Structure 1
Amino acid sequence: MPFPTQAAPPPARLVADTLLLRPIAAADAEIDHDALMETRDFLRVWEQTGWPADDFSVEDNRADLATLEQRHSDGVAYTYTVLDPTGTRCLGCVYVMPRDARFLALSTITPLAEHRWDDVEAAVYLWVRASEQERRTDRALLEHLRTWFAMAWDLRRVVHVTHEDLAQQVALLADAGLAPLFAIEEPGKQGRYLAYG
């Protein structure tokens, strides 16, 4: 199946025993901000920028989330907030990008195996808040996502992307039996991102 669009939108929710996913909204600014700031050291490596800055405010975050919400609504790319089962605490985020997203189109993508980037259907980025990494919530999330993409989205060629300097996420993907298929070098960013599949 090709990347979902407005005409054929993706699933609205993933409900599991320990977490749920739904499209992110500007109204999530406060709970998302709490998770971001707890996880800012991780996210600065993940982003290869200074984001989020120590003075990043809830209102700054609301503006960012409004952009993500609109992008999701427009079918350009999809962002899901990861919540606890009550829907009141943000545990992290999942971003589902088309292979030709602008930042990827501007990147240098090098195959690390016998694969073609043109065969990739979606590139997925995820993070969970620091305290949830200790509880292995990222492992549960990845497991649920892999099933969700195959069954509910009907996507077979999904890659999960992380930065090579994030040893914890590199280990997470390797422990799940995934192998690095592509190296992605984004303009202006240090090091490489690795796309696992």
Structure 2
Amino acid sequence: MKKSFVPDKFIVPVIYKTEDFTIRKLTVLDLEKDYNAVMEAKDHIHELYPKEYTNGWPSDTLTLEQDEEDLKWHEKEFDERVAFAYTVFDFQNENCLGCIYIDPSNFYDAKITMWTRNKVTDSLLYLTVKKWIKNDWPFKNVHYPVFE
């Protein structure tokens, strides 16, 4: 098992709400809404991130079962405190808009990637996440590939 990259005493947020978003721990219970959002955002994700960030994920042939395995993996990482994946819903917590991934980095305290279903939401989510990380997380030196 990898070592946590947040202090042991740090309480990892499970949910964060703003007037625009409900950001919460990504779990396998989000499977159907996550899968639909991923497949709808697939081309946009590929526009945002070069292949070295995504390894070509999501592919045109991504199945619901493969997405379920991904969600199980993200949930396990979160529980072990080695990486943190969040789903992003609208404020009413009805529609999956995208995801946020907070990962360890060799050069920064954390590397944060994210995607949404559309470019307009990307900017708002980036500003929201940047504020959240600054105020509620123990990181001082954070990298946001694509957004910086």
TM-score, L = length of structure 1: 0.65
**Bigger Rg, which one:** 1
How well do the aligned residues superpose, as a CA RMSD in angstroms? 1.9
Counterpart Cα distance in 1 of 2:9 and 2:77: 14
Q: Tell me which moved more, 136-145 or 87-96.
A: 136-145
Any runs of at least 4 consecutive aligned residues in structure 1 with deviations exceeding 3 A, and if so which?
none
Query: How many correspondences in the alignment?
Result: 141
Counterpart Cα distance in 1 of 2:93 and 2:8: 25
Give the counterpart of 2:117 among 125, 129, 136: 129
Q: 1:83 to 1:15 in 2, by over 3 A?
A: same
Match of 2:129 in 1: 145
Give the counterpart of 1:65 among 68, 71, 79: 71
Give the counterpart of 2:61 among 48, 55, 60: 55
Give the counterpart of 1:159 among 125, 138, 143: 143
Structure 2 gap ranges (5+): none
Structure 1 gap ranges (5+): 101-116, 163-172, 174-195
Counterpart Cα distance in 1 of 2:69 and 2:7: 23
Deviation of the 1:83 alpha carbon: 0.6
Q: 2:6 is aligned with what amino acid?
A: P
Higher relative contact order by CA 8 Å / sep ≥ 6: 1 or 2? Answer: 2
Deviation of the 1:99 alpha carbon: 1.4
Instruction: Please list the CA deviations of residues 130-185 of structure 1 after superposition, one character each: whole Å capped at 9, or x if unmatched.
Output: 3xx2xx221111111111111111322111013xxxxxxxxxx3xxxxxxxxxxxx
CA contact under 8 A between 1:5 and 1:76: conserved in structure 2?
A: no
Q: 1:47 to 1:76 in 2, by over 3 A?
A: farther
Match of 1:27 in 2: 29
Aligned-residue sequence identity (percent) comes to 28
CA contact under 8 A between 2:5 and 2:82: conserved in structure 1?
A: no
TM-score, L = length of structure 2: 0.85
Asked if residue 74 in structure 1 is aligned to residue 74 in structure 2, the reply is: no
Deviation of the 1:123 alpha carbon: 0.7
